[in-house]
A = this chain, B = another copy of it.
Amino acid sequence: MTVTLADVAARAQVSPATVSRVLNGNYPVAAATRERVLRAVDDLDYVLNGPASALAAATSDLVGILVNDIADPFFGIIAGAVQSEIGGPGGRAGGERLAVVCNTGGSPERELTYLTLLQRQRAAAVILTGGAIEDAEHAAAMAGKLRRLAEAGTRVVLCGRPPSPETDAVALTFDNRGGGRRLTAHLLDLGHRRVGYIAGPRERSTTRHRLEGHRAALAAHGVEDDPALTVHGPYDRRSGYDATVELLRRAPELTAVVAANDTVALGACAALRDKGLRIPDDVSVAGFDDLPFSVDAVPALTTVRLPLYEAGARAGRIAMGKEEPPPGGVATVHGELMVRGSTAGPR
């Protein structure tokens, strides 16, 4: 049947313990012996039994990554970056670690469920990406889960998410508030006064922070914050389209639209064009994140660039213990305003 460590040991004429040592490489073994073992492994086409190994060692080579939606490049880029860092030396049996990507779809229940599942797998680390769901009860439940994971030896890192109180999870947070403020300030500096805002879903830290930044800019410029100019919706193209139609209905005189992210902004652009409005001549449009397609939009999208790849890679390294966590366990990652063709002075 299936080849086991004992089979390899027999063929190499050593004890199972020695084979284990060779495979894990965390222990001195004579070169000649190692050679013999490796040849036996090769001859028998032996593949280590992960579950057995994890059981005995009380830790696995799995790293969990929680994302809202893996089809969204925002998360895909982060997930890819994390994965590029979790391999390499340090893990069991060659240091190869596998990424378990969990699509929560933004659901609080699934978020908790996946954490339990990862705890069940005795994951070596867990990385939570994207904004947090802002609900006291859920936050408490999450903090509890994260604490228990940490106690069990799982390293926890938050990437693009605010710190979780009562937890010593390392947090790499994005400066969504500052980015939102600079983006709207840019429009106000251009002379816009009626600026529509398409916010993300409610009860999400990302949504709130970006919106707060927007409002801070309005306040700083002495522009009234008309509630009718803000519409909430999911982070997708459709939401951008629909929200823009609604904003135009409520305030046909608006001269600029700020979207919760680039995908939403693309939907907004489509709606404006369908209404016969030119960008930026009639209405300026701005997004957030600077996803790869944003520079190719026509006109190219003004947005706030978030270093998603770098942040994901850093989160991965911290999760692997390859990099020191930032002092205090919290680091803020700043965005960069990218002014492009989609914004100009009002007509």
Binding site for B on A (CB under 8 A): 2, 45, 47-55, 60-62, 69-73, 75-77, 79-80, 83-84, 93, 96, 98-103, 113-114, 116-122, 148, 152, 237, 263, 266-267, 269-270, 273, 292-293, 295-298
Contact of A77 among B49, B71, B84, B297 (CB under 8 A): B71
Decide: A120 near B50, CB < 8 A? Known: A2-B152, A71-B77, A99-B100. Answer: yes
Question: Which B residues are in CB contact (< 8 Å) with A292?
Answer: 237, 263
Across the interface, do B103 and A84 meet the contact criterion of CB distance under 8 Å? yes
Query: So how many copies of this chain end up in the complex?
Result: 2
- Chain B nearest Cβ from A287, distance in angstroms: 12
Decide: A47 near B84, CB < 8 A? Known: A71-B77, A73-B73, A99-B100. Answer: no
Minimal Cβ-Cβ distance residue in B for A292? B237
- Chain B nearest Cβ from A334, distance in angstroms: 22
Across the interface, do A48 and B80 meet the contact criterion of CB distance under 8 Å? no
Question: Which B residues are in CB contact (< 8 Å) with A75?
Answer: 76
Distance of A265 Cα from B261 Cα, bound (Å):
23
6 A-B pairs besides A51-B121, A100-B101, A266-B296 with CB distance below 8 A are A47-B120, A70-B76, A71-B76, A72-B73, A98-B102, A99-B100
Question: Which B residues are in CB contact (< 8 Å) with A52?
Answer: 51, 55
Question: Which B residues are in CB contact (< 8 Å) with A267?
Answer: 296
Contact of A116 among B47, B55, B73 (CB under 8 A): B47
Across the interface, do B100 and A102 meet the contact criterion of CB distance under 8 Å? no
Question: Which B residues are in CB contact (< 8 Å) with A70?
Answer: 70, 76, 79-80, 83, 101
Indicate the member of A96, A98, A116, A263 with the most B CB atoms within 10 Å: A98
Distance of A50 Cα from B62 Cα, bound (Å):
12
Minimal Cβ-Cβ distance residue in B for A52? B55
Across the interface, do A51 and B45 meet the contact criterion of CB distance under 8 Å? no
Question: Which B residues are in CB contact (< 8 Å) with A266?
Answer: 293, 296
- Chain B nearest Cβ from A266, distance in angstroms: 4
Write 13 A-B pairs (CB below 8 A) sorted by A numbering: A51-B53, A51-B55, A70-B70, A70-B76, A71-B76, A80-B103, A84-B103, A96-B113, A98-B117, A99-B100, A101-B101, A273-B298, A296-B297
Across the interface, do B73 and A80 meet the contact criterion of CB distance under 8 Å? no
- Chain B nearest Cβ from A161, distance in angstroms: 19
Across the interface, do B48 and A51 meet the contact criterion of CB distance under 8 Å? no
Indicate the member of A53, A69, A71, A73 with the most B CB atoms within 10 Å: A71
Across the interface, do B96 and A49 meet the contact criterion of CB distance under 8 Å? no
Decide: A100 near B98, CB < 8 A? Known: A45-B148, A72-B76, A73-B73. Answer: yes
Distance of A96 Cα from B120 Cα, bound (Å):
11
The 7 closest A-B pairs by CB, nearest first: A51-B54, A298-B298, A71-B76, A51-B55, A71-B80, A50-B121, A101-B101
Distance of A60 Cα from B280 Cα, bound (Å):
54
